Amino acid sequence: MGSKINNKMMASDVSLQAAGKVHLQRCLGFFDSVSFLVGSIIGAGIFVSPKAVLEFSQLNVGVALCIWAACGVVCILMSLCYGELGSALPFSGGEYYHIRRGLGSLPAFITIWTLILFRIPASNAARALTFAEYISRPFYVGCSPPVLLKKSLAIGVLLTLGVINCKSIKMSTWVQKIFMVLKMMSLFLIIAYGLHELRTNPHASKPFQDAFSADVPNAAQIAEAFYQGLYAYGGWNYLNYMAEEVKNPSKNIPRSIMTAICTVIVFYLLVNISYLTVLTPRELISSAAVSVTWADRMIPTWAWIMPVSVAVSIFGSLNGGMFRLGRLNYAGSKEGHLPGLISMLHVHYLTPAPAMIISTLTACVFVIPSDLIALTNYFGFASQLIIGLTCTSLIVLRHREPNLERPYKVFLPIAYIVVGISAFLVLAPIVQTPKVQYFYALLFMLSGILVYIPFVHFKLHIPYFEKVTCYLQLLLEVSPPDIYEDPKIE
């Protein structure tokens, strides 16, 4: 859309870049990638989800801990599949790009339609509001912070992260590293106190005696518990969205994913054990925020640390979510499913600035009518559906493109197992506890076909859209990315 004219206009700016090329830079090494993943995974989930997992497990401590471990194992199986796709196809877009490559244009468009218009922006808005809730809680003891204050803080943090991600990839990575260290320190604190309590208090081990003696949950309850556990592990797939910026992706993507997930599994299990050494199962499920209740019991003088720690964790996780959404918009535009302007890069910063601006504004819109965020719970099955489609793409590509260079290959039956697990997690809650909201979520996903047919399949053009794109390109100082053969892809 006006790219030929605009490339000439921007030639003087482009010449400022190394080798005269405008493209995403491979600047994320192994430690950067692990930091980004761990920082994205550890959010509010581990501070809040233990209550829901235990509740859906029918207060069965043994089952709850098994579900936490099983969620980690499921994430490992999924990440093994994603590791192959990311190392063989190291391009931005993650699941969207892999589904497009394996299953075609229409399933990929429905994927990006669901993710960028509802699932990810609403999730980012929910994180921002939760951040605002926890960061302001120490100033409103005994009452809830004002709604206007929370929404203002949420929009403020979204805009701040939007600017950081537009300005510099390295700055965003440093933010992720710093906040990862801070949140790991919070988890270390919880684990250390829990282990000390387990060693010194003879009653602390009581929840683990006859851990499986309570009622056993049914299939729907297990699926719901898995949803809550997998929510806490959410973010394990983010590296595939930024594969175009990872150094030596054929090695670093599989290694980084496995290192990050195994680290998180160990920490999550130890934190859950720590919670249960201080709180009984009934006390745990009656708590609105488990970590805060734990702190009130263990360190009452310094209890304010936990709300701040939760806010810090959410901030790092939100930064990863913003980064992911920007790369998804960028990839969708490059593949022709979104307007061309969104795939352009800032000629000085080499960041997908238009994609980040769109992502930030979309999330801010969702903050205003916060009741919409409640619907994200019913889009949980969509995430599992997309994971299933992604692993199905891996299976299809194995048979259709056997000569595709694959530096790392997963044992193919693992992909079939992941597809089966995804199918179970999609269908079990819908079949056993059907709700009309699931139908609305599915209807929203399929409504993308009404946009796909005229604008993608038949390539319908909107009048004057190219002129608007040209002016915005000049205003934002962005340029289409150059075709670039990356010698670092091995």
Does 478 map to a domain? no
Confidence of residue 378 (pLDDT cuts 50, 70, 90): low
Separation of alpha carbons 50 and 57, rounded Å:
10
Reported confidence tier of residue 489, pLDDT bands at 50, 70, 90: very low
pLDDT band at 74 (very low <50, low <70, confident <90, very high): very high
CATH number of the structural domain spanning residue 79: 1.20.1740.10
Length of the chain: 490
Assess if residue 93 is contained within a domain: yes
- In the structure, what pLDDT confidence band is assigned to residue 488 with cuts at 50, 70 and 90? very low
Which two three-digit tokens encode residue 334?
């490059």
C-alpha 444/C-alpha 178 separation (Å) is: 38
Looking at residue 364, what is its pLDDT?
A: 92
Whether 285 is in a domain gets the answer yes
Residue 74 lies in a domain: yes
Provide the pLDDT confidence category of residue 160 given band limits of 50, 70 and 90.
very high
Please give the helix or strand (H or E) that residue 377 lies within, else none: none
State the pLDDT confidence band at 296, using cuts at 50, 70 and 90. Answer: confident
Contact 9, 347 (CB under 8 A): no
Q: Is 12 exposed, middle or buried (0-12, 13-18, 19+ CB in 10 A)?
A: exposed
**CA distances from residue 71 to 114, 180, 416 in whole angstroms, order as listed:** 24, 21, 17
Based on the structure, what is the number of domains in the chain? 1
Q: What is the pLDDT of residue 377?
A: 61
Q: Is residue 160 part of a domain?
A: yes
Phi then psi for 246, rounded to 5 degrees?
-95, 130
**Phi, psi at 204, each rounded to 5°:** -65, -30
What's residue 7's pLDDT?
44
Tokens describing residue 267: 């920490």
Q: Is residue 457 part of a domain?
A: no
First to last CA, the chain: 33
Nearest of 97, 191, 49 to residue 57 by alpha carbon? 49
Q: 308 is in which domain, residue-wise?
A: 27-451
Residue 381 belongs to some domain of the structure: yes
pLDDT by residue (tens digit) across 297-326? 888 888 888 888 888 889 999 999 999 989
Comparing 62-66, 425-429, 444-448, 455-459, which segment has the lowest mean pLDDT?
A: 425-429
Question: Residues 245-291: pLDDT tens digits?
Answer: 999 998 899 999 999 999 999 999 999 999 999 888 888 888 877 88
Q: Per residue in 38-61, pLDDT tens?
A: 999 998 788 877 888 999 898 899
Strands 478-479 and 345-346: antiparallel
Give the type of residue at 446. L
Instruction: Decide if 390 is inside a domain.
Output: yes
